[in-house]
Amino acid sequence: MSAVQSTKHDAAGHEAEPALDVAAVADFVRRREAEGVTLKSAVLEHAALSRGLTVRRWDETLLTVEVEGEVLPFVNMNGPSASVASRAFCDQKQLTSACLERAGLSVASSRAFGLDQQRDAIAFAHGIGAPVVVKPNSAARGRGVTLDIHDLDGLWRAWRVAAKIVAKRPGGRVIVEQYVVGDDYRCFVVGDRVVAATRRVRASVVGNGRDSVARLIAVKNRVRAKNPYLFRYPIPDELHELDALRHAGLDLEHVPPPGQRVTLRGTSNLATGGDNVDVMDVMHPSFQEVAVRAVRAIPGMAYGGVDLLARDISAAAEPTNHVVSEVEYAPGPGPLFPVEGTPRDVGGAVLAFYLARVGGARPA
């Protein structure tokens, strides 16, 4: 791929949003990724081309979109309104939590500790009570996260896991946090509304009474390989990486009975083998309001991903039935390619956010 490319589409205006053709997006993304373009950037590029806009690609992540004489730069899916300062707030989980709490949103009790503050961390864990979560302050994709810790031995093991990641980062810290029971949801917020919402289900397989867990993982990974987003995140097939399976006293040779779901990993991140299920149509409006408030709580942020832990996303949001766990500066386009449910055009929504500000279309 050359460093600079220009692509034009027949001018058709952008008064009306084009219908989402998921197969066309998937095909475009695959071709672009084969040329070295990142997934997020390819999704944004396709959204612009399908709206009849002039696109110039500069490298694998950087492109510009011309709208009525104005040139809009994008790195992946982040455009001119994506503040570097807001990224700094999101990258440090403790700062994110402080912003959310200041805005009156429900968050889990937590505190960050230096690597030499283990005794203070233990005291804090005792103070908030078990179970707790231990995680790095600035890692992503579930790296170094240990959930549902009930005793001191578990706390020490989790600390060592997080410390390996934290030690690689100047000023890195380990967070000890209250463990909150609930399903894991990711909301994609653009401006003043939620454009996509998915439930992130922990990596799992469903038994058929014949195949082992190892065989079921292999079959499921073949299905994931066809998903333009999930193919890069296969479920691990090594027992030492399947913590939930081990904690249940099972191994890869176990044959689950028909219909039994076997959870494999403790975290629900898609990067750890989780599934994304669209829940936009069942999400209560009050939870959408919570997600929008969470993005607004981060200084300089116009759009992003909001992670919620909630017992029932279809019920009204109350301070005691959910927490906002994180805000993601550059969420991935997973809602375009859900395992179940309706695909959501998150790339188009981000682009429309900018078109509306230069006299173009209203947000999709």
Check residue 15 and give its pLDDT: 47
DSSP type of residue 203: S
Q: How far apart are CA 346 and CA 47, in angstroms?
A: 9
Domains along the sequence of the chain with CATH: 5-81+345-358 (no CATH), 83-107+181-202+274-329 (3.30.470.20), 109-179 (3.30.1490.20), 208-263 (no CATH)
Per-residue pLDDT tens, the chain, 364 aa: give them.
Answer: 433 444 444 333 334 567 899 999 999 999 999 999 999 999 999 999 999 999 999 999 999 999 888 999 999 999 998 888 899 999 888 899 999 999 999 999 999 999 999 999 999 999 999 999 999 987 666 788 888 899 999 999 999 999 998 888 777 899 999 999 999 999 999 999 999 999 999 999 999 999 999 999 999 999 999 999 999 999 999 999 999 999 999 999 999 999 999 999 988 889 999 999 999 999 999 999 999 999 999 999 989 999 999 999 999 999 999 999 999 999 999 999 999 999 999 999 999 999 998 864 444 4
- 131 prior amide bond cis, ω within 30: yes
Sheet of 62-67, strands arranged across: 5-7, 54-57, 62-67, 70-75
Sheet of 174-178, strands arranged across: 110-113, 174-178, 132-136, 146-149
CA 222 centroid distance within chain: 22
Q: How far apart are CA 117 and CA 175, in angstroms?
A: 11
Check residue 341 and give its pLDDT: 96
Look at residue 342 and give its three-state secondary structure.
coil
DSSP type of residue 208: -
User: Which positions ≥6 away from 298 have C-beta within 8 Å?
Assistant: 86, 89, 90, 96, 99, 304, 327
